[in-house]
Amino acid sequence: MDITSGTRKIIVAIDGPAASGKSTTARLLARKLGYTYIDTGAMYRAVTLKALEAGLLEHLRDNPDDVTSLLEDIDITFEGERVLLDGRDVTAAVRENRVSRHVSFVSSLKPVRDKLKQMQREMGKRRGVVMDGRDIGTVVFPDAELKVFLVADASERSRRRYVELVQKSGGSNNVPPVEELEQEILQRDRSDAGRAHAPLRKHQDAVEVDTSGLTIDEQVALVYNLALEKTAV
């Protein structure tokens, strides 16, 4: 507890379905609070990238238990907003479509979830973190002082994803149509919510925020105010 300023450091857990605004909200909130932002989706993506690079993905679909060999000495760290896999900057690589296509499968494997949960708990043990994902409030930090569950209409989420991809690729040439993105998002919702281990669901104490009609500034301000209530001592 930081007695001098009358505030204490907390954990903010932000969960919700794909493209609901989690990472944007979490990143900006962390900046405003002076906290560390931990993008747990990037960690699942990093494991997926490692499996792809090892040429193991197809093998794992038939032999899922073999994933443990990949996890033994894996190192995933954050440097500011960059993610490092075994010391290498993979911030851009983990966003590639080949990773997105396989990440739901890799994140459904229990040894992967157990390993990343342990790493995430270690990263948050001194508090002062904003962590976003699917199971942060329910499984990783059920004692997080503030749990937020972000939702948004599927059409709004696919529109946001479309704009993000166009911006990233500098034009709409190789970007799939919005309708296709919406189908991908709905498919990912189904597998994230339907899996056996740590499925996406809202913790009973989580505050649900529907971001469909909100600007980014509005959603950040809303969650920031919730956080301030929890940090005041």
List contacts with ligand DC (CB under 6 A). Answer: 18, 40-41, 44-45, 103-104, 107, 133-136, 188, 192
For ligand DC, the closer of residues 40 and 158 by Cβ is 40
Q: How many CA atoms lie within 13 A of 162 on its CB side?
A: 16
**Minimum separation from the CB atom of position 100 to ligand DC (A):** 7
Q: How far is CA 137 from CA 34, 46, 161, 193, in A?
A: 21, 21, 24, 15
**Minimum separation from the CB atom of position 101 to ligand DC (A):** 10
**Minimum separation from the CB atom of position 45 to ligand DC (A):** 6
What count of residues does the chain have?
Answer: 233
Report d(CA 137, CA 145) in Å as an integer: 9
**Minimum separation from the CB atom of position 190 to ligand DC (A):** 11
For ligand DC, the closer of residues 94 and 220 by Cβ is 94
For ligand DC, the closer of residues 15 and 231 by Cβ is 15
For ligand DC, the closer of residues 8 and 95 by Cβ is 95
Distance in angstroms between the alpha carbons of the first and the last residue of the chain:
9
Q: How far is CA 14 from CA 5, 27, 61, 169, in A?
A: 25, 11, 30, 27
Backbone dihedral region for residue 127 (phi beyond 0: left; psi -120 to 50: alpha; all else: beta): left
**Minimum separation from the CB atom of position 68 to ligand DC (A):** 18
Task: Check residue 51 and report its DSSP letter.
Answer: H
For ligand DC, the closer of residues 51 and 136 by Cβ is 136
For ligand DC, the closer of residues 18 and 67 by Cβ is 18
Q: What are phi and psi of 38, to 5 degrees?
A: -120, 115
Q: Are 37 and 136 in contact (CB under 8 A)?
A: no
Radius of gyration of the chain (CA): 18
DSSP SS3 for 14: strand
**Minimum separation from the CB atom of position 13 to ligand DC (A):** 10
